Amino acid sequence: MSAYRITGETGEWEVIVGLEVHAQIVSQSKLFSGASAEYGGEPNTHVSLVDAGFPGMLPVLNRECVAQAVRTGLGLRAQINLFSRFDRKNYFYADLPTGYQISQFEHPIVGKGAVEIELSDGEVRHIGVTRMHMEQDAGKSIHDQDPTRSFIDLNRAGVALMEIVSEPDIRSPEEAGAYLRKLRQILRYLGTCDGNMEEGSMRADVNVSVRREGEEGYRTRCEIKNVNSVRFVMQAIEVEAQRQVDIWESGGEIDQETRLFDHVKSETRSLRTKEDAHDYRYFPEPDLLPLVIEQSWVDELKAALPELPEDKRARLEKEYGVSRYESGVLTAEQSVADFYETVARGADARLATNWILGDFFAALNRTGRSIEDSPVSAEALRELLALISDSTINGKIAKEVLEDMVETGERASVIVDRKGLRQVTDTGAIEAAINDILAANADKVAEYKSGKDKLFGFFVGQTMKAMKGKANPAMVNELLKKLLAS
């Protein structure tokens, strides 16, 4: 694939992107308190006095959040640091109750790793992961309820986040999109983050800079904060890179600053924060001991890790003979892969692949359902396909049966029996039908015999119609040939 370039007045520019992804850890309770970490809830109900920063309240670390961070690190094939530590990041904000965020600044729990991405042209790239650490989320400020005041809801305050920092290895909006989607896929497979960007479970800070083609080193970068969809990340990179190119080319300078992406206007704009407003005064959190974990625990977590997307993909290709493209679609979501395997295991894998990627997905689309609430279970679909394989019904009838299954939720065999769709394999019955048709179409038989071979299809159609579609197609063909030849 040709590299992504921005063509300016004075030449070609390359885009350099690094992403800091904040992913909410799946857990019952918060990182340092026993309040619920569930999304939503009435304002200020998922809040303990610890989360609200009351005097004398102290943090106690959640074991499951640590386990989730370790699982994620393992999933990113990254180094797990047995010694890590929490620091305080000090700053004032309305939704930060204690005046500091507890975060792992100097000693993160996860070190270097990598994410493999695949681009639309099949090219595979590795995007480096610099580090990953745990930290607390902040609360929410609500600005549109009152003319002079903002309202504060602390339900999110203290929920556990993972911050996954990439190397500046990303070179195009497409790569950024692929990286985010891949990361999301891995986290969802691991069950460590639900990846729900609408609910803010995943959001990204995007670091963008540009440089002339062939230039060494990096120019000043800008950080676009809190972008909450893959599409917006891609758009933000595009417009921000263009903005920077325009400034450099007109002889200007880029200020290192924080910016916001406005998707309505499709532009980024400066947050205009004063430089000295950011001095986070990190120091080790004295209310917590350093986090020391055992290698044996890491090994245990590793042994219990689910199969990761790449591994699953390779296995599906090997075990079920699916193509690279098909394996990509089938493993995009763990639930799809599970569904597929339930259907394909011990069945005609090719038939299962074709049906799932074809008629079954079409049925889901049509009904607006997802695989999780599919009206047809994997077991039910497997039964349907088995009916094809053992010639109980033919493919055409099977499509009709699937539609009925979607509508009624009934089992395939029940529908086949109720509607009398069982395929006719009785030679006598098919022969009788053929003989009737040949007798009624003597002229066409004559034409066929004089060389008009195309008419064979006509006889097939007429026979199937007479048999209400239930005749075994292979037998119809065979008997037609025999009777027309006589």
Partner 1 sequence: MSSIFDYTLASAREALRTRKISAVELVDAHIEAIERLDDGLNSFITRTPEQARLAAKEADALLAKGEGGSLCGLPIGIKDLFATEGVRTTAASKILGNFVPPYESTVTANLKRDGAISLGKLNLDEFAMGSTNLTSAFGGVENPWKRRDSDAKLVPGGSSGGSAAAVAAGLVLGATGTDTGGSIRQPAAFCGIAGIKPTYGRCSRFGTIAFASSLDQAGPMARNLQDCAILLESMAGFDPKDSTSVNRPVPHYEAALGRGVKGLKVGIPKEYRIDGLPAEIEAIWQQGINWLKEAGAEVVDISLPHTKYGLPAYYIAALAEASSNLARYDGVRFGERVKGESLDALYEATRAAGFGDEVKRRILLGTYVLSSGYYDAYYLRAQKVRTLLQRDFLKAYETVDVILAPTAPSGAFAWDEKPTDPVQVYLNDVFTVPASMAGVPALSVPAGLDSRGVPLGLQLIGRFFDEETLLAAGSVLEKAASFTHRPTIHAGVSA
Partner 2 sequence: MSLDAKTVAKMARLARVGLSDEQVHTYQKEMQGIIGWVDQLNEVDVTDVPPMIGTGLAQPRLRDDQVTDGNCREKVLSNAPDREGPFYTVPKVVE
Binding-site member from 44, 258, 354, 377 for partner 2 (CB under 8 A): 44
Number of Cβ atoms within 10 Å of the Cβ of 289: 11
Choices 40-48, 183-191, 404-412, 470-478 (CB under 8 A): range interacting with partner 2: 40-48
Q: Does residue 483 touch partner 2 according to CB under 8 A?
A: no
Torsion of CA 95, 98, 100, 106, to 10 degrees: -130
> Which residues touch 469 (CB under 8 Å, ≥6 apart)?
394, 396, 397
Q: Does residue 59 touch partner 1 according to CB under 8 A?
A: yes
Binding-site member from 47, 405, 475, 476 for partner 2 (CB under 8 A): 47
Q: Give the SS3 label for residue 238.
A: helix
Q: Does residue 440 touch partner 1 according to CB under 8 A?
A: no
Q: Which is nearer to partner 1, 275 or 443 (CB)?
A: 275
Number of Cβ atoms within 10 Å of the Cβ of 372: 9
Q: Does residue 289 touch partner 1 according to CB under 8 A?
A: yes
Q: Which is nearer to partner 2, 70 or 387 (CB)?
A: 70
DSSP string computed for 314-368: HHHHHHH---HHHHHHHHSSHHHHHHHHHHHTTS-HHHHHHHIIIIIHHHHHHHT
Output the smallest distance, CB 53 to partner 1, in A. 4
The residues facing 321 across adjacent strands are none
Residue 42's binding partner out of partner 1, partner 2, none, with CB under 5 to 8 Å set by partner kind: partner 2
Binding-site member from 17, 65, 161, 233 for partner 2 (CB under 8 A): 65
Binding-site member from 4, 8, 41, 57 for partner 1 (CB under 8 A): 57
Choices 58-66, 318-326, 329-337, 467-475 (CB under 8 A): range interacting with partner 1: 58-66
Choices 86-94, 123-131, 237-245, 254-262 (CB under 8 A): range interacting with partner 1: 86-94
Residue 58's binding partner out of partner 1, partner 2, none, with CB under 5 to 8 Å set by partner kind: partner 1
DSSP code for 168: S
Q: Does residue 283 touch partner 1 according to CB under 8 A?
A: yes
Q: Does residue 64 touch partner 2 according to CB under 8 A?
A: yes
Binding-site member from 23, 66, 80, 430 for partner 2 (CB under 8 A): 66
| Near partner 2 in 126-185, by CB under 8 A | 141-143, 145-154
Task: Give the whole-angstrom CA distance, residue 455 versus residue 225.
Answer: 68
Q: Which of 26, 65, 22 is nearest to 293 (CA)?
A: 65
Task: Give the whole-angstrom CA distance, residue 278 versus residue 291.
Answer: 27
Torsion-angle region of 294 (φ positive above 0: left; ψ -120 to 50: alpha; else: beta): beta
Site string for partner 2, 16-35 (x = CB under 8 A): -----------xxx---xxx
Q: Which is nearer to partner 1, 271 or 432 (CB)?
A: 271
**Which tokens belong to 249?**
């080319």
Binding-site member from 98, 331, 392, 394 for partner 1 (CB under 8 A): 98
Length of the chain: 486
Q: Which is nearer to partner 2, 1 or 60 (CB)?
A: 60
Choices 165-173, 276-284, 323-331, 357-365 (CB under 8 A): range interacting with partner 1: 276-284
Output the smallest distance, CB 43 to partner 1, in A. 14
Binding-site member from 63, 281, 396, 418 for partner 1 (CB under 8 A): 281
Task: Give the whole-angstrom CA distance, residue 185 versus residue 228.
Answer: 16
| Near partner 1 in 138-167, by CB under 8 A | 150, 152
Name the maximum alpha-carbon separation found in the chain: 101
Do residues 1 and 119 make contact, with C-beta atoms less than 8 angstroms apart? Answer: yes
Torsion-angle region of 298 (φ positive above 0: left; ψ -120 to 50: alpha; else: beta): alpha
Do residues 71 and 192 make contact, with C-beta atoms less than 8 angstroms apart? Answer: yes
Sign of the four-CA dihedral 305, 360, 402, 375? positive
Binding-site member from 18, 73, 75, 97 for partner 1 (CB under 8 A): 97
Binding-site member from 17, 18, 48, 222 for partner 2 (CB under 8 A): 48
Q: Does residue 269 touch partner 2 according to CB under 8 A?
A: no
Task: Give the whole-angstrom CA distance, residue 317 versus residue 315.
Answer: 5
Task: Give the whole-angstrom CA distance, residue 35 versus residue 53.
Answer: 13
Do residues 110 and 80 make contact, with C-beta atoms less than 8 angstroms apart? Answer: yes
# chain residues binding partner 2, by CB under 8 A? 51
**Which tokens belong to 222?**
């800008």
Choices 170-178, 251-259, 272-280, 425-433 (CB under 8 A): range interacting with partner 2: 272-280
H or E stretch covering 302: helix 295-303
Output the smallest distance, CB 190 to partner 1, in A. 27
Output the smallest distance, CB 59 to partner 1, in A. 7
State the residues that interact with partner 2 by CB under 8 A: 27-29, 33-36, 42-52, 60-66, 92, 94, 141-143, 145-154, 260, 271, 276-277, 279, 281, 284, 289-292
State the residues that interact with partner 1 by CB under 8 A: 49, 52-61, 88, 90, 92-94, 97-100, 150, 152, 279, 281-283, 286-289
